[in-house]
Amino acid sequence: MKKILVTGGAGFIGNHLCRKLLADGNYVVCLDNFFTGLKKHIADLLDNPKFKLIEHDIVDTIDIDCEQIYNLACPASPPHYQYDSVKTLKTSVLGILNMLELAKKYNATILQASTSEVYGNPLQHPQNETYWGNVNPIGVRSCYDEGKRAAETLMMDYHRQHNTDIRIVRIFNTYGPNMDPKDGRVVSNCIMQALNGEDITVYGDGSQTRSFCYVDDLVNGLILMMNKEGITGPVNLGNPSERTVLNLAEMIKKLTDSKSKIVFKPLPSDDPIKRKPDITLAKNELGWEPKIDIEDGLKNTIEYFKTV
């Protein structure tokens, strides 16, 4: 049994990770300020003697004895991270500094949940970990994109200067139950609009591509990466099965048996045109690749959204 700290543990990915870590027999401390995380996501875990919830913002220092740290704390959807862009940048930079100091103090392994957004609007396709990206440093998405890039820099500098045991993963589009129906992401938007009989919004002409990974697959990848010796990353975690946004909207419309119309609106600023991970490194180093078919994953996600 390990004592594991999960920041952002009440968030979409975080709550699934907490459950899996508990199921594996660990003691889990969930840290969350509930800006985007929800207590209802982890409410059923509160009576578990191996689970502890602490309401805290990682921008502020905290002292928790732990063996592993999964740093997932940061709003990850554009409406959320653009709501207070300065706070988003503080969370990425000051937050990871505080967690790195904690890892240094207790000789803990720390995993940073980075993002495919570090690649920006990529000029290389698919994106592998050696690609440095094409990011607008002064755009409306920069608080998130550049914040995550700075966090990766700090991770590597602590590793080089203090021999901190680090792991960096770059997470591509992830979906599944417990997503926020109002997070502004394409999967949640399309499902909620389809279920409510509203027009299904597709931005641009819908030809931009994304690669969607089911949350259970992603969580398995995070745990494999954390427990793999001799690798710092970054390592891409995502589904290399690329599809257009229009294709996704049509699939959701079919799976929900919706009568909604698909309508087109202008593409948001700095929205990437292509996004597809090269997961060769994850396959070779971790023995990881997604297992869950998108149709099965969407069916599970749709069933969840019917309850919210």
Rounded Cα distance, 102 and 151, in Å? 15
17 in Cβ contact with 219 (< 8 Å) = yes
66 in Cβ contact with 4 (< 8 Å) = yes
- 144, 158, 175, 214: the catalytic one is 144
What pairing do the DSSP bridges indicate for beta strands 109-115 and 3-7? unpaired
Q: Is 144 among the residues known to form the active site?
A: yes
161 burial type by CB count under 10 A (0-12 exposed, 13-18 middle, 19+ buried): exposed
What pairing do the DSSP bridges indicate for beta strands 3-7 and 68-71? parallel
305 in Cβ contact with 258 (< 8 Å) = no
89 in Cβ contact with 143 (< 8 Å) = yes
Catalytically active residues are 144
